Structure formats: structure tokens, C-alpha cells
Chain A
């Protein structure tokens, strides 16, 4: 019974982590049809930014809760600036080019940003553990759960709900949906697609840095963290369907629970399970769970 509870609890925490890192990636793909490898850099910049903010804030012995908020805002501020520079400075120049070319461009930017991180923060690792320590823990039988992990699940759920409401209930969300369905028709009806692209990319970048910021207290912020994340995020997005927010949520839940079950019951297959699930889903639903095959336009 305790093992079953642990699988669900661990699965939800891992799913929250996956959703937080995948949601920005799938949003950018949905609207702009760009497989954005740079998303790994957004995550890394978010984590480094949060660690820097933690250093600035907690050295002054200020209240813990506000420190976490400061870390998130600081990181998302970096995402805003970075997203704006990349979209206006680079991606704007390659719109309309072949999708492979755009992927290669984002990959090149990802490599450059890895070096930029080394230039800014150097090769050393950073800790931003203060919010996790301050959050404390609760005991459930022999199992001790971190309150920070529970908070992570709540943040992911709130983000999923906010994204859903923003897409369905706001004017910009409806415009976004129109561009997702058909860019040319949207443009013909007077939608400023260029502006939609810029705003979407910046929001995607800010979501990427948010993922890094909320994970920073749990990890050691060190070089290369963006590489692992981008691989996982791609797997989740592929399972759920490229460009689908609901897909990213369901994909994260499937992978999170499957991985937790593997670690508890058969740890030998832990590494295999994420990609095993992905292969299984794609075998039956080649476009992912929430994306339908589209007729090709001529």
C-alpha cells in the first residue's frame, strides 16, 4: 500500500517537473511550428538566474517565501529578454525556411548559449536550496515527503489550468488558436501573425526559464543541465502530440507515473521506460495522443 502511494506521489512530482519543462516547448511548436532546441538553454538560464537571485536575496536574511518569488521573477525576466533577442534578432530572419534549417539554427543558438553561460557564471556549480529547506517535510508512514515537491505539483497544476484558460477564454488565446489551426487564413483575416509569433516565443522562453527556476532548489545548477532537459521534454511532447498543451500534461503524467513505477518495482528498466512508452504511443498514434493527422496542403 505504501509502495503504491509512493509510486503515485513520486509519479506526480516527476510529471510536474516534466510538464513545467515541456509546456513552453510545445506552445512554441504549436504556434510557430519550430522545434526549439534552444528551450534547453531557457531552462538552464532560468536555473542559473534563480541561483543568482537566491544568492542576492538570501544573503540579506529576508523572508523565505518572498525569496522564492524573487527567484522566479528574476528568472522569468531573463526569459523575457532572451526570448525577445532571439526571436527578433535571429528567428525572424529564418521564418519561411525549411523546418530542418530552423531546427539547426536553434541548435546552433543552443550551443552558443551554453558558452554564454560559461562566460557569465563560469564552470563552477551553484546551489539555490534555500526554498526547499525552508519548505520542510511531512511524514506519511515510513515515507517523508518534501513540501517543496508538493508545491511543485500545485504550481504545475496551476500552470496547466492558467494555460487552458488563457487559450480558451482570452482574446489573445483565441488568436493563438486561430494561428495554430491555419496561419495563412488568420493573416488573411487581419491577425498580426508576426506579433503573435513574437509574443508566443517570449512566453515560451519565460515558461522555459520558469521550469529552470522552480527546479533550481532541488538540483545543483551546473553546466550541461539544459542538455538532459531538452531530451526529456521532446519525449513528453512527442507522446502528447507536438503543439498540444493537454498532450504535454497527459504525456508528463504517463511518463512520470511509468517511471516511478519502474524505479519502485523494476529499477533495471528505469532508463528504458520513458522511451519505451514513447515508442509504444507513437506505434499506434504516430502524431501523439492529442494531435490528429492533417491533410497535406497543395
Chain B
């Protein structure tokens, strides 16, 4: 009896082993048939103060774009599955932490996880820290949001690309919009956060105003601490000034806190506030965003995006998934991923099929032109590594009947009007009178 039971157990064991072996062979055969997915590292702020306005919308933009690409659902000319027919597998990494931590995570993605490319980074500090490491590791890296012009102006890069335009465009565009709406500006002021982003933004805006309206005088140049929260003294300073417009590159909590306090004290009625990143806040602030605020979206993004089929599709799938319209970080992420797709497939075509190497993709990426939900982009600067686009500014108003934010009086500025020519340093270009600008 015992012997029978043992024999029966051995039979079951043997059968199971055989079945498992057959299954394993089946899985292996399937794996051999399907090409290995393209592995992308997606880096964005998932925690910390920058997560809500930039990091999460950027991550969401990546998530829906990768899903749509893998499903072959992106409208033409992007209807091929994934990258060149190979599906994309994404690994999402948090950008929060020190520059050293950001670099460590980048190394982990490239050396441990063996990703084929890294797409990401919001903070200019992160981009500046990652760039030399990307070059050292020969790792294809596509930045999606960081704004500092220094990346490609300090040295030539081979493995790093940034399709979205840099911050100089935002502030020259802002100056042109202000002067087109208020030609008689005699005094203006600025309130910007006291770190690289705020200082560079004000420098570019001030230089552009000095060139475009030499008689206008910068009156108050305020640089409160990042995340200061309380702006009572700054608002009093502006209220007691003669300024007719105030420039700010504040973002998220600082921008919203400043606007709440400005509204309570009547500053926004006294002078329009030109906010270069405010597009990312309009869906949260709604009727608390003062009417008349001049809105920038770091390019033609969100409500400032062109009315194209690709934009309507992107806006639609984003709203369906997340219940809120996409803001500029989502658009910038879509721009970066589509740029990678265009370069990948161009390299694949040149090669005659199969997965292209990093070197082949890098060669194909340089100087490409393509269409994204935010319109046309051309990698015209930084020896074909830095994108330029047209930009747009408009004036905010909350439509009480429809209960929805609107941007009206939109003015578009061509890419060559608000970006420097190739191989010209941005700061020198603005201070030198924006020579060669085609407006």
C-alpha cells in the first residue's frame, strides 16, 4: 500500500516536472519570438514640492504616451508600435534628493538596469549634474523639462539631447508680449526665487526689456528665498512702486501663495503679473488666479498649444485617464518621447532594420525636425542637440458662465524670434540686441 502511494507520488512528480519543462520551453520559445523590449528610464519628481506641478504631470505624460505607443494608437506619423516595432518597458525613478543622489540613480539606471535610454529631469541642477556622467557612460539621455541654457552652451555634448526649448525663450517671449500689450511701460519690477532659475529668468527678462524698451526702467528687483511662503513685504514694496507690470518665474506653491496674497492686497488690480510658468497652475487655481495675469507655459503647451489633430488626441487621452487637462510638463514629456521615437526609427531605417545602437541613434537624433502635440520642434541649437519651438503668451480670465479657465489675447512668436541663432550664447544674444531675430 505504502509502495503504491509512493509510486503514485513519483508519477505525479514526474508528470509535473515534464509539464513544467514543456512550459519553460514554451515560454523560452515565446521569448525568442518576441524581441526584447526597449528599456527606458523615466526620471521625474515623484515626491517633494516639485512633484505636484511638474513631476506627476510629466510622469503621467510618459505613462499614457508609452501605453499609446505600445498599443500602436498614436496618430500618424507615429502609428508604429513602440520604438520601431519594439514595445517600450519603462522604469520610473524619483528625481527628489541631492544632485549626488540624482547622479547615483542615473548610474543605477544605466549600469545596473541596463536601460537603452533615460528620459527625464526637471531641475536644472539635476541636468547639470547628470550631463557629464551621461557623456562618460555614453548613455543616451533626453531631457524633458529643465530650462538652463548652460547644458549645451558650456560644451558640445554627444549623448545628451533636449527637444524642449530652454528658458531664454520664455523670458524674451514674455518681454515681447508685455510690450505688445503695454507699449507705454516706463517702470517694471520682478519678483523671482533666489536661486539659479529665478535669477536667470529675471536676467533674461531684464536684458530683453533693456533692448526692446530702452526707456523703461527696472524699479524693484526682488529675490525672496525659495519656498518663502510669506510675501507681505514684497507686495508692499510693489504696491508703493510706480511699476506698471511685474515679472515672475515663481512656480507652484510659491506662485500660488504669491497670487493669493497679491489678490487679497489688490496688487493684481494695480499692475498685471506676467508669470512665465503659470499655465501649470491654472487648473488648480481656477477663479483664484487673478483675471489679467499674463500666462506663459514654457512654450506652446496646454491651452497655448496649436489646434492640431495630434494635440487634440493627446489632450483627449490625458483628460480621459487623469480627469484634468495636461499641463506643460506633460507636453514636454510627450515631446521628448516622440523625439526619441523619431531618432530611433530613423536610425533603424538607415541601418536597414533591427535594433539600432546608441551611436546610431545619437547620429540620427542630431538636428531632427518633427511634430509633437505642442507643434513643430527643430533641434537647431547646440550642434543639433537643443530644440527650438515657437512660443506663445496670453492673458488669463476665468469664464464664470462655463466655469473654466481661459487664455485670451494669445500672441505667438516664431521660434527664430525668441531663440538665439545656432552657436550663439543666449545671454550674449539677448544683451547684444537679439541680432538675427526673425519676428
Q: For residue B229, which residues in chain A have a CB less than 8 angstroms away from its CB?
A: 215, 218-219, 225, 228-229
Q: Kindly state whether residue A127 has any CB partner on chain B within 8 Å.
A: yes
Q: For residue A118, which residues in chain B have a CB less than 8 angstroms away from its CB?
A: 47
When each residue 7-18 of chain A gets 1 if its CB lies under 8 Å from chain B and 0 otherwise, what string results? 101110110010
- CB within 8 Å for A127 and B288 given contacts A10-B233, A224-B49, A259-B233: yes
Q: Are B233 and A263 in contact (CB under 8 A)?
A: yes
Question: Which of A115, A137, A224, A259 contacts B264, CB < 8 Å?
Answer: A137
When each residue 217-255 of chain B gets 1 if its CB lies under 8 Å from chain A and 0 otherwise, what string results? 000111111011110111011011000000000001111
- What is the CB-to-nearest-CB distance from B408 to chain A, in angstroms, rounded to a whole number? 24
Q: Kindly state whether residue B285 has any CB partner on chain A within 8 Å.
A: yes
Q: Which residue of A lies closest to B261 (CB)?
A: A218
- CB within 8 Å for A6 and B227 given contacts A123-B47, A218-B257, A263-B233: no
Q: Kindly state whether residue B75 has any CB partner on chain A within 8 Å.
A: no
Q: For residue A132, which residues in chain B have a CB less than 8 angstroms away from its CB?
A: 260-261, 264
Q: Are B230 and A17 in contact (CB under 8 A)?
A: yes
Q: For residue B47, which residues in chain A have a CB less than 8 angstroms away from its CB?
A: 115, 118, 123, 223
Q: For residue B234, which residues in chain A have a CB less than 8 angstroms away from its CB?
A: 263
Q: Are B240 and A3 in contact (CB under 8 A)?
A: yes
When each residue 235-277 of chain A gets 1 if its CB lies under 8 Å from chain B and 0 otherwise, what string results? 0000000000000000000000001100110011011000000
Q: Are B253 and A220 in contact (CB under 8 A)?
A: yes
A198-224, CB < 8 A from B: 215, 217-224
Q: For residue A124, which residues in chain B have a CB less than 8 angstroms away from its CB?
A: 52, 56, 284
When each residue 128-140 of chain A gets 1 if its CB lies under 8 Å from chain B and 0 otherwise, what string results? 0100110101000
- What is the CB-to-nearest-CB distance from B271 to chain A, in angstroms, rounded to a whole number? 12
Q: Kindly state whether residue A146 has any CB partner on chain B within 8 Å.
A: yes
- What is the CB-to-nearest-CB distance from A246 to chain B, in angstroms, rounded to a whole number? 23
Total interface residues on B, CB under 8 Å, equals: 43
- What is the CB-to-nearest-CB distance from A274 to chain B, in angstroms, rounded to a whole number? 9
Q: Kindly state whether residue A90 has any CB partner on chain B within 8 Å.
A: no
Task: Choose among B51, B55, B56 the residue with the greatest number of A CB atoms under 10 Å from its CB.
Answer: B51
When each residue 282-294 of chain B gets 1 if its CB lies under 8 Å from chain A and 0 otherwise, what string results? 0011001000000
Q: For residue A10, which residues in chain B have a CB less than 8 angstroms away from its CB?
A: 232-233, 236
Q: Kindly state whether residue B8 has any CB partner on chain A within 8 Å.
A: no
Q: Kindly state whether residue A143 has any CB partner on chain B within 8 Å.
A: yes
Q: Kindly state whether residue A170 has any CB partner on chain B within 8 Å.
A: no
Q: CA separation between A118 and B52, bound complex, in Å?
A: 11
Q: For residue B366, which residues in chain A have a CB less than 8 angstroms away from its CB?
A: none
Q: For residue B304, which residues in chain A have a CB less than 8 angstroms away from its CB?
A: none
Q: Are B233 and A219 in contact (CB under 8 A)?
A: no
Q: Are B257 and A144 in contact (CB under 8 A)?
A: no
Q: CA separation between A123 and B220, bound complex, in Å?
A: 34
Q: CA separation between A145 and B261, bound complex, in Å?
A: 10
Q: CA separation between A220 and B264, bound complex, in Å?
A: 14
Question: Which of B51, B237, B252 contacts A220, CB < 8 Å?
Answer: B252
Q: CA separation between A143 and B232, bound complex, in Å?
A: 11
Q: Kindly state whether residue A142 has any CB partner on chain B within 8 Å.
A: yes
Q: Are B232 and A14 in contact (CB under 8 A)?
A: yes
Q: For residue A267, which residues in chain B have a CB less than 8 angstroms away from its CB?
A: 220-223, 237
Q: Are B228 and A143 in contact (CB under 8 A)?
A: no
Q: Are B225 and A220 in contact (CB under 8 A)?
A: no
Q: Kindly state whether residue A125 has any CB partner on chain B within 8 Å.
A: yes
Q: Kindly state whether residue A148 has any CB partner on chain B within 8 Å.
A: yes
B52-80, CB < 8 A from A: 52-53, 55-56
Q: Kindly state whether residue B417 has any CB partner on chain A within 8 Å.
A: no
Q: Which residue of B lies closest to A141 (CB)?
A: B240
Q: CA separation between A245 and B225, bound complex, in Å?
A: 27
Q: CA separation between A125 and B285, bound complex, in Å?
A: 10
- What is the CB-to-nearest-CB distance from B274 to chain A, in angstroms, rounded to a whole number? 19
Q: Are A264 and B236 in contact (CB under 8 A)?
A: yes
Q: Are A125 and B52 in contact (CB under 8 A)?
A: yes
When each residue 274-286 of chain B gets 1 if its CB lies under 8 Å from chain A and 0 otherwise, what string results? 0000000000110
Question: Which of A6, A148, A215, A229 contacts B236, CB < 8 Å?
Answer: A6
Q: Are A225 and B265 in contact (CB under 8 A)?
A: no
Q: Are B52 and A222 in contact (CB under 8 A)?
A: yes
Q: What are 10 residue pairs bridging A and B, where the CB atoms are less than 8 Å apart in the complex?
A: A125-B256, A127-B288, A142-B240, A144-B239, A215-B230, A224-B227, A228-B225, A229-B229, A267-B221, A270-B225
Query: Taking beta carbons and an 8 Å cutoff, which residues of B are in contact with A?
Result: 46-49, 51-53, 55-56, 194, 220-225, 227-230, 232-234, 236-237, 239-240, 252-257, 260-261, 263-267, 284-285, 288
| 5 shortest interchain CB distances as A-B pairs | A220-B256, A263-B233, A123-B51, A10-B233, A220-B253
Query: Taking beta carbons and an 8 Å cutoff, which residues of A are in contact with B?
Result: 2-3, 6-7, 9-11, 13-14, 17, 115, 118, 123-125, 127, 129, 132-133, 135, 137, 142-146, 148-149, 215, 217-225, 227-229, 259-260, 263-264, 267-268, 270-271
